[in-house]
Chains A and B, each alone.
Chain A
Amino acid sequence: MSGDRRARVIAAVEAKSGGEWSPARLCEVTPDIVGVTGAGAMLMSGDLSQGSLCTTNSVTNVIDDLQFTLGEGPCIDAYHQDKVVLEPDLAHPATARWFAFTPKALEAGIRAIFGFPLREGAARLGALHLYQDKPGYLSDDQHADALLMAEVIARQVINAQAGASPGRMAEDLEATADFHSIVHNAAGIVSVQLGVSVTDALVRLRAYAFSENRLVRDVAEDIVNKRLRLS
């Protein structure tokens, strides 16, 4: 049975991706294959989101940004707990969690959200997030297909990186990944302005963004463009 599913999903991916198997392309076709509104993949290491591998629309951009800003959300949990995280009804969650993430996610039109760990063997890469614009569980089929897509995406990330020059990121990954560069630029600036470490500067940026109800990326832009100075 699982062999059939694998064959079906692989064939569908092949057809929809036009034969291109970069992790970004796989991510792009995931909503179609699983039957959800949008999908995105986050790369994580230690405590932090390192960046987004890909997003499929502006809403998944928001999901990625919120988790990067707030340090909480389905991908964060899926990665840290190393298991699938399901929230079929974000407006009426059975489990009280993500107090900062949830209201903003609802504002963006997300009604159901799911996180799947991205792993290859014991290597943990991050997490894949899928969302729906209406509440509801994933069906058994959708769940199984999502697991398969997570597996395939993770393997492609490892394959892509295995071919990279030492110390560099694989071109395939770099091309579509978003490392929140502007946030790190701003952290550097703030660290000098406030005389604190870059790590502390990042914390301050996030705290400010949260208290102003803004995405940290937007705050960072203001800082880099000298429209804002933290004190």
Chain B
Amino acid sequence: MESSRDQNIIHYLIDLADNLVEDFDVVELLTGLTHRCVDMLGISAAGVMLASPPGELRLVATSSEAMQLVELFELQAHEGPCLDAFHTGKPVEHEILRHGSGRWPRFSIVALEAGFQSVFALPLRLRETTIGALNLFSMGESPMAEADIVVAGGFADLATISVIQYGAALEAQRVNEQLSQAITSRIVIEQAKGVISERAQIDLSEAFSRLRNYGRRHSTRLADVAQNAIDGTLDPEAWAAPPTPDA
């Protein structure tokens, strides 16, 4: 039994590591994490919260409906183990819940009502960056085995790295697209200068002035005026000689 559990743990770690190199869905990853924790770590339910946008925690995954209700309440009440783990960046050690008292008076009432007797939470943290937290709930009062806590930490670390890397990769792509767009806009403006300079038989810098002034007069972005110029949809007024000297 033990060796097959070890095999399951190893397989799951390999699966998690795959997310570092393949495309994945963040919610799917984290939901899978909660189920694996329940399957392998001797706990009853698990939940994951992520801070997105940074600073604002949201519930992203849970292993059961009951867990979901309790976690949503934790967020609403601004009180509970997940929040503490996130804000401190440190694990919240095993805590037996006491109705209406203890560390989380209101949270404990709702959690006990759902059948949970004790909790344990880990931050999802990579060095100085904490992106969320993992809640591990139990229907009994006994703490998790030390070995299980270590494994939970391993799962949490890999999940954290995957989510962070995914976010960074998305960000780099977004910035790259912005860069391409900005360059394309510049190129379109240069092309428009050529078009206008030929239509009006003026030099490039005068062509640029007329495009820019037209944009200002009509509150239109220069990039759009330029695009119209090369599409051939620009009002000829744009390149006509100004009636009076430009101010």
Q: A interface vs B, CB < 8 Å? A: 43, 45, 50-51, 120-125, 157-158, 161-162, 164, 166-170, 173, 179, 181, 184-193, 197-198, 224
Contacts and interface: CB of A to CB of B under 8 A. Distances in A.
A125 B169 CA distance: 13
A193 B201 CA distance: 11
Interface string B40-57: 000000000000000000
B184 A184 contact: no
Contacts of B223: 167
Given A167-B181, A184-B190, A124 B176 contact: yes
Given A45-B184, A122-B172, A169 B179 contact: yes
A191 B182 CA distance: 23
Contact of B187 (A167, A184, A191, A224): A184
Chain B residues touching A, majority SS: helix
Given A179-B190, A192-B194, 8 more contacts: A45-B184, A121-B168, A124-B176, A167-B178, A167-B185, A185-B190, A188-B195, A189-B197
A185 B182 contact: no
B191 A188 contact: yes
B77 interface: no
B198 A188 contact: yes
A164 B182 contact: yes
Interface of B: 165, 168-169, 171-173, 175-176, 178-187, 190-199, 204, 223, 230
Contacts of B184: 45, 50
B194 A187 contact: yes
Given A169-B186, A184-B187, A192 B198 contact: yes
A187 B197 CA distance: 11
15 contacts: A43-B183, A121-B172, A122-B169, A123-B173, A123-B175, A124-B176, A158-B172, A167-B181, A169-B182, A185-B191, A188-B190, A188-B195, A188-B197, A188-B198, A198-B195
Given A169-B186, A191-B230, A192-B199, A123 B176 contact: yes
A167 B182 contact: yes
A161 B182 CA distance: 10
Nearest to A154: B172
